[in-house]
Amino acid sequence: MSELKRTSLYESHLKAGGKIVEFAGWEMPIQYEGLVAEHEAVRNNVGIFDVSHMGEVSVKGKDAEKFVNNLVTNDVSLLNPNQIAYAMMCNENGGVVDDLLNYKYSEDHYFLVINASNVDKDFAWMQKQAAGFDVELVNLSDSMSEIAVQGPKAQELLQRLTDTNLDEIAFFYFKEGVKVCGLDTIVSRTGYTGEDGFEVYMSHEAAPVIWEALLKEGQDLGVKPTGLGCRDTLRFEAGLPLYGNEFDDNISPLEAGLGFFVKLDSPFIGSDVLVKQKAEGLARKTVGLEMVDRGVPRHGYEVAVNGEVIGHIATGYTSPTLGRTIANALIDAKYSEMGTEVDVLIRGKAAKAKVVSKRFYTKQYKK
C-alpha cells in the first residue's frame, strides 16, 4: 500500500485540532471543531479550506484552446482572457471522466483544475487526447498548494492580506501575480460552497504563512478552519456535483442534470452520444428528494417504487442550513415528476420520500 500524501498545511491542521482521515491518497482534515459549526461558519462568516490536494494541469501551445474545447463539454472559446468555465470531460460513451475548472489565460494557455481523486486518470486521459494537437501538457499538481476562502466575509478577510483590489476580480474570473502576505498567488473568485469566496493558489512555502495569517486576521470576522466534512454538505446544499456521486464514468452530464454546462453545438469527445441522448429523451434523470418518513438517505442507497429498484441516491444529508433531510437521486425518468412518491431503502427497510426541486439552497454568489 503506497504511503499517504500530506499537504503543506498538515502541521497547521494538527495545530488547529484537525481530525485527519484518508482522502484520495492524502491525509486530510475531515473536521476541526465539528462539521455543523464549520458549515455554519461558511454560510454566516468565513471558513478556510485546505484544497492543496486538488490537481492542476497547464496546457500551452498554438492549439491550447482547440484542445480544451474538444476535451470539455462547455464552449471555452466564449471565454475572455482571465475568465473561467466550469465543465466536464466525457469519455466516448458520454460518461463523465471528471469535472473541472478551465482557467483561460489566452488562446495559447489554459490552466485546468481537477479533482484530487482523479489526477492520474485525468492527466493520462488528457495526454491521450492531445494527439494531433499542438499543445504541451504539464502536470503541476505536486508543485501547487491551494486555500479556499469562502463565506460572506471572505472578501473582507482576504482583502486585509493583499493590496490588490478584490472588487476587480469578478465572479469566475482570476488574476495572477496577486501578492497575499507579500507572496505570489493566483486568485480566482470561485468556490465549492454556494457562498461568495476565493480560491487562492500558491507555493508550498507560502501556504502555511497565508493560512496562519487568515486565521489571525479573521478572528473578529469569525473565521474558522473548515474541513472536508462540511465541504461536502455545503456543496450538496448548493446543488454542486461531486464526481463519484452525481456523476461518474457511467453517468452522463445530461443524466446528472448539468446540461447548462454542455454546449452541444461546440463538439467535444462524447458529444455525439449526448446529442442522441437529448434527442431520444433521457432514460434516467437526477431529481431532488425530501424524506417523508424518518431516516437519512445516503450515497448508494437504493430508491424503489412498489418494491422495484428504480435508481440510487447520489448524495443525501440532513442539511445543516435547511434543517431538511434531502438528497439527489439518479432514477428512472418515468418517476421524475415533482411530488412523485418513492421509497428509499435504508438498511433493508423502505422509508418514504417525495420528488422535490433540486434547488435546495439559494446561492449567494457576488455576480
Partner 1 sequence: MNVVKGLYYSEDHEWVKVEGGKAKVGVSDHAAHQLGDIVYLELPEVGAELSAGDVFGVIESVKAASDSYSPVSGVVTAVNEELADGPEAINSDPYESWIFELELSDASELEGLMTAEAYEAFIAE
Q: What are the residues binding partner 1 (CB under 8 A)?
A: 30-31, 34-36, 229, 233, 294-296, 298, 317-318, 320, 325, 347
Please say which residue, 136 or 293, places its beta carbon nearer to partner 1: 293
The answer for residues whose C-beta is within 8 angstroms of residue 184's C-beta and 6 or more apart is 177, 178, 202, 203, 206
Comparing CB distances to partner 1, the nearer of 61 and 227 is 227
Closest distance between partner 1 and the C-beta of residue 352, in Å?
A: 15
Q: What span, in angstroms and rounded, lies between the C-alpha atoms of 240 and 367?
A: 17
- Which residue, 83 or 318, is less far from partner 1 as judged by CB? 318
Amino acid identity, position 117: S
Nearest to 42 by CA among 243, 241, 233, 317: 233
Q: Report the residue number, 194 or 257, with the smaller CB distance to partner 1.
A: 194
- CA angle (290 as vertex; 289, 291 as ends), nearest 5: 120
Cβ nearer to partner 1, comparing 79 with 242 = 242
Rounded least distance, CB 17 to partner 1, Å: 12
- Please say whether the beta carbons of 174 and 82 come within 8 A: yes
CB of 230 to partner 1, least distance (A): 9
Distance, in Å, from the CA atom of 171 to the CA atom of 9, rounded to the nearest integer, reads 27
If the CB atoms of residues 102 and 321 are measured against partner 1, the closer one turns out to be 321
Sign, CA dihedral 54-60-64-70, equals negative
- Partners of 304 in beta bridges: 309, 343
Q: Are 123 and 55 in contact (CB under 8 A)?
A: yes
CA distance 122 to 33: 34
Closest separation between CB of residue 117 and partner 1, Å? Answer: 18
Shortest distance, CB of residue 303 to partner 1, whole angstroms?
17
Question: Is the Cβ of residue 39 or residue 263 nearer to partner 1 in the bound state?
Answer: 39
Minimal distance in Å, beta carbon 37 to partner 1? Answer: 8
Burial (Cβ within 10 Å: 0-12, 13-18, ≥19) of residue 51: buried
Cβ 244 to partner 1 shortest distance, Å = 16
In the sheet that holds 145-150, the strands lie side by side as 174-180, 183-188, 197-202, 145-150, 47-50, 224-225
Q: Which of 37, 86, 334 is CA-nearest to residue 189?
A: 86
- Would you call 148 helix, strand, or coil by DSSP? strand
Question: H or E stretch including 229?
Answer: helix 228-237
The whole-angstrom separation of Cα 253 and Cα 265 is: 15
Min dist CB 35 to partner 1, Å, is: 5
Name the minimum Å distance from CB 297 to partner 1. 11
